[in-house]
Amino acid sequence: MANTFLTPKMIISGQNALSDSANELSKMGKKAFIVTDTTMLKLGNLAKLTNILDQNKTAYTIFAEVNFEPDDVIVIKGANLYKENNCDHLIALGGGSPIDTAKAISVLLSSDDPLSSYMGKIIDINRPALAAIPTTAGTGSEATKFTIINDTASKVKMLLTGPCLIPDLAIIDPIFTSTAPKSVTSHTGIDALCHAVESYTSRKSQPLSDSFALSAISRIFNNLKKCYENGNDIEARIQMSLAALEAGISFNNSSVTIVHGMSRPMGALFHVPHGLSNAMLLEECMNYAVEGAYDRFAQIARHLNLTASSDDKQAAHIFLDKLSELLNDLHVPTMSEYGIDKEEYFNNIDKMAHDAYASGSPSNTIREVSVEDMVELYKKIYR
């Protein structure tokens, strides 16, 4: 069977990417709706964008309210503001949350149906032009057909998908990621690592997604610790920005698996930031997933030049040991350190395992994953 491979129409990356995008931004429309958060405002990152729009004589409305992982309420508010201000295109500036919000706003602008009605369907709408400017090296949302929105009524993180959600223009400028604090660098970097490893070890992997995944994994192993230890290491920041993009392109065309499947319910119920819940899950989930996929994990070890062993099982475990070492170096807090109450957590394990299963992601893992397996894994990761 043939494979389909999707990417943004245009990617502008590297130093000065934002300023070099002025011409492309000017083609997007007459009045931009900027979706961002107050941190971008305070750090001066928003001004870097509005300066360019001012020079282009493009009008804009600023919606700087996405200060948490987005839910249906903030998306409705954004869509209404867009209409009231007669905007004609969207620019998302920030981490995954503003980018996901902008995508979801574009859906509401094109239809009166609630976002929850799109769960489990392929979204196919004509939306306004959309540019995405990531300021963390992690989510890869600038390159994906997915948006994750909390449904406030059901307390479920909705995974909404459709090729039309891939931004038209992705601007990857390392100037933004250099402002990310240590914990954000660590968690978002691990999120990108999850995208790449899950994508490579997914049942839906394909040759082109494999190329992007392996390249991302190399860049992450060579640069994430450097960024974490020295946020001003610009070369390492550039490499991580590219890695996050590659990982996003990769899982956009294959899929994520068990880590992301189990991570979303933790975010929905305990408000653990996405990258952090992935980080808490990654090691145990990969130790589980390796059985039945030794060859794929072994290929990662060989690609990283960790071993020349032709014994798949041995090589796969060499990669997992290296992964454990990296996670240790990045000081991921445990759940109890993060403040999740043990009793409340254990009382919700059944719901989380069922919600994870229903999302469909765990079944992309090569090893069969049952609800009961995830119940055991959720128990195991509480420390």
Where on the chain is the footprint of Fe ion (CB under 5 A)? 191
To Fe ion, the closest distance from the beta carbon of 188 in angstroms equals: 9
Q: Which is nearer to Fe ion, 148 or 377 (CB)?
A: 148
Q: Which is nearer to Fe ion, 69 or 168 (CB)?
A: 69
Residue 40 belongs to what H/E stretch?
A: helix 38-43
Q: Which of 321, 342, 161, 133 is nearest to 256 (CA)?
A: 161
- Alpha-carbon distance 200 to 91, whole Å? 30
Q: Are 168 and 121 within 8 A, CB to CB?
A: no
To Fe ion, the closest distance from the beta carbon of 193 in angstroms equals: 10
To Fe ion, the closest distance from the beta carbon of 59 in angstroms equals: 33
- Alpha-carbon distance 206 to 249, whole Å? 12
Residue 59 corresponds to which tokens in the numbers above?
């009008």
To Fe ion, the closest distance from the beta carbon of 213 in angstroms equals: 14
3-state secondary structure of 333: coil
Q: Which is nearer to Fe ion, 223 or 252 (CB)?
A: 252
Q: Which is nearer to Fe ion, 191 or 312 (CB)?
A: 191
86: alpha, beta or left, given left = phi > 0 and alpha = psi -120 to 50?
left
Q: Which is nearer to Fe ion, 168 or 191 (CB)?
A: 191
Q: Which of 262, 264, 310 is nearest to 284 (CA)?
A: 262
Residue 318 belongs to what H/E stretch?
A: helix 312-329
Q: Which is nearer to Fe ion, 32 or 196 (CB)?
A: 196
Distance linking the first and last C-alpha atoms of the chain = 44
Q: Which of 23, 28, 165 is nearest to 102 (CA)?
A: 165
| H-assigned helices in 230-311 | 234-253, 258-270, 274-289, 294-303
To Fe ion, the closest distance from the beta carbon of 100 in angstroms equals: 10
3-state secondary structure of 92: strand
CB-based burial of residue 167 (10 Å sphere; 0-12 exposed, 13-18 middle, 19+ buried)?
A: buried
- Alpha-carbon distance 137 to 58, whole Å? 28
In Å, the largest CA–CA distance within the chain is 62
To Fe ion, the closest distance from the beta carbon of 82 in angstroms equals: 26
Residue 187 corresponds to which tokens in the numbers above?
């968690």
Residue 197 belongs to what H/E stretch?
A: helix 182-200
Q: Which is nearer to Fe ion, 191 or 210 (CB)?
A: 191
To Fe ion, the closest distance from the beta carbon of 289 in angstroms equals: 16
- Closest chain position to Fe ion (CB): 191
Q: Which is nearer to Fe ion, 100 or 191 (CB)?
A: 191
To Fe ion, the closest distance from the beta carbon of 347 in angstroms equals: 26
To Fe ion, the closest distance from the beta carbon of 279 in angstroms equals: 11
Q: Which is nearer to Fe ion, 257 or 348 (CB)?
A: 257
